[in-house]
Amino acid sequence: MPDGAIGRRPAGSAGGPAPGAHLIAAMNWTTLISAEELAHAIDRCVLVDCRHRLDDPQAGRRAWEAGHIPSAHFLSIDDDLSGRHDPSLGRHPLPDRETLRGKLAALGLSDDTQLVVYDDQGGAMAGRLWMLARWLGHRHVALLDGGIAAWQRAGYPMSTEAPAPATPGHLSERPTLVTLLNTAQLMAALQDGHSQIVDARPAERFQGKDTSMDPVAGHIPGAINRPLSQNLRPDGRFKPAEVLRHEWETLLAGRKPEDIIQQCGSGITANHNLLSMELAGLPGSRLYPPSWSGWISDPSRPVAKGE
């Protein structure tokens, strides 16, 4: 598709709606958006590239500079979507709420604007901004299903040009749409007899076999493991909602979604499971942002290994 075709309504037959018109009319994506849907609505969205490598923090920006979806801004996981360093809050503390609100408004995001986020890891990184937008109370945020690879497979163009400066938007202070727990709240929840931690890290890290990311290996006692990769099809898109619902209900084993506490290594990839449950029609699980790296900041806290 040529560059100028993005966002243009294809000509329809006389007397009928243009193909794709329903895609533009919706403008209310809250979990996922397909490459086709984005292509039709891109000129009415704020688009953010969230590519990132945990072992190479500058890799995402280099990738954006080499080629990105047209009009996409770049926000860094470390510099824009995380706060000041504090070991007790994990490797990626939450950013200052008002600073984040200002950054998103500066990109042109307003209360009624659709925000679309993407990466090149099936949503593992972009899920952070999906959650943060909801933390600010912004419901109209969706992750590009399949990421930049899905966009390219569909034949849509790439760009190396930075987007033009946006007219600042207005993001009102709204009630949060996600429940976050600090460590004291997590420890209290673990005593209620209902709460269940779900760890989104790969099995090797959960089991304590991979010690490459954190100085202490293992997991929070009582946690169960659902690696985020289990949410995805082989092509990097999310599994159908009904499949995810069946898998999550099996894992819940009779618990309510509100009983689930999502965590990972540093509060980034846990959002993938949060989004997965939302997509499955099981909203309400909670997030422990400090995650494993925050938990182990106090050597007196217990550590488990194995399955």
Contact at 8 Å (CB) between 231 and 238?
A: yes
Could you tell me if 138 and 130 are in contact, meaning their C-beta atoms sit under 8 angstroms apart? no
**Cα–chain center distance at 297:** 25
The DSSP call for residue 81 is S
The H or E element containing residue 295 is helix 291-295
* Contacts (Cβ under 8 Å, ≥6 apart) of 16: none
Query: Taking every pair of C-alpha atoms in the chain, what is the biggest distance, in angstroms?
Result: 72
199: phi then psi, degrees, rounded to nearest 5: -100, 125
Sign of CA dihedral 41, 9, 145, 158: negative
32 and 142 Cβ atoms separated by less than 8 Å: yes
Q: Provide the annotated active-site residues.
A: 264
